[in-house]
Amino acid sequence: MGKKTEKLLSILQLQPVVPVLVVDNAATVVPLARALVEGGLKAIEITLRTEAALDAIKAVADEVEGAEVGAGTILNARQYEAAVKAGSQFIVSPGTTQELLDAAARSDVPMLPGAATPSEIMALREEGYAVMKFFPAEQAGGAAYLKSLASPFGGISFCPTGGITAASAGTYLALPNVVCVGGSWVAPKNLVEAGDWAAITALAADASKLAG
């Protein structure tokens, strides 16, 4: 196992659920991240789907003690490099391109690349990857599909993300090839907008105790 794989696993194994955040206002992200960390969810993915995302990553990296902040929805090398510069400790992509593989090879910050088919998994394995994001999990076949990949792809671990809820997370976490799941239910938009950080800490605490 390479050093970057070990580094990535050390982050993903911190907890059963990695919060996947879409941040519209960077001002809310520090109390939000602190609430998640207090509830036991230290690894946090902030997706690059909004203009506030890079500022939000920098704020969490600079101001939230105990947080391991990563950048999600990384689609190209420019975004990869900008996310690393902002303080990202891991990079998450919904898929994989040669451009992204090259950017990851140049960086000390590990990438969790997306894969949803046997061919994509095989291509990534040839590139030396043993940990992948399975996306979009529910829409691509769910836990039953992922379970069927365990035998032909021994030694490959997944972080399924996409459509997973508090109710379905345990089914994924019970699979031998799942290291953690990604989920947005721990930081619902209405609670973030209301600034109800105690409620988010409670959701995070429940998620941190999930097991398969």
Q: Tens of pLDDT along 62-104?
A: 999 999 999 999 999 999 999 999 999 999 999 999 999 999 9
From the candidates 4, 42, 58, 133, which is the catalytic residue?
Answer: 133
End-to-end CA distance of the chain: 25
Match 């500022």 to its residue by tokens: 55
From the candidates 42, 45, 58, 68, which is the catalytic residue?
Answer: 45
Residue 10 lies in a domain: yes
| Mean pLDDT score across all residues of the chain | 97
Respond yes or no: is residue 133 known to be catalytic: yes
Q: How far is Cα 201 from Cα 174, in angstroms, rounded to an integer? A: 24
Distances from the Cα of 63 to the Cα of 57, 120, 175, 194, 197, angstroms: 10, 37, 35, 21, 16
Secondary structure of residue 119 in the 3-state scheme:
helix
pTM: 0.97
Respond yes or no: is residue 147 known to be catalytic: no
Q: Tens of pLDDT along 185-194?
A: 999 999 999 9
Q: How many domains does the chain have?
A: 1
The CATH code of the domain that includes 110 is 3.20.20.70
Q: Tens of pLDDT along 108-159?
A: 999 999 999 999 999 999 999 999 999 999 999 999 999 999 999 999 999 9
Provide the domain limits for residue 188.
Answer: 3-115+165-170+180-205
Residue 211: per-residue pLDDT:
83
Residue 173: per-residue pLDDT:
98
Q: Is 186 left (phi over 0), alpha (psi -120 to 50) or beta?
A: alpha
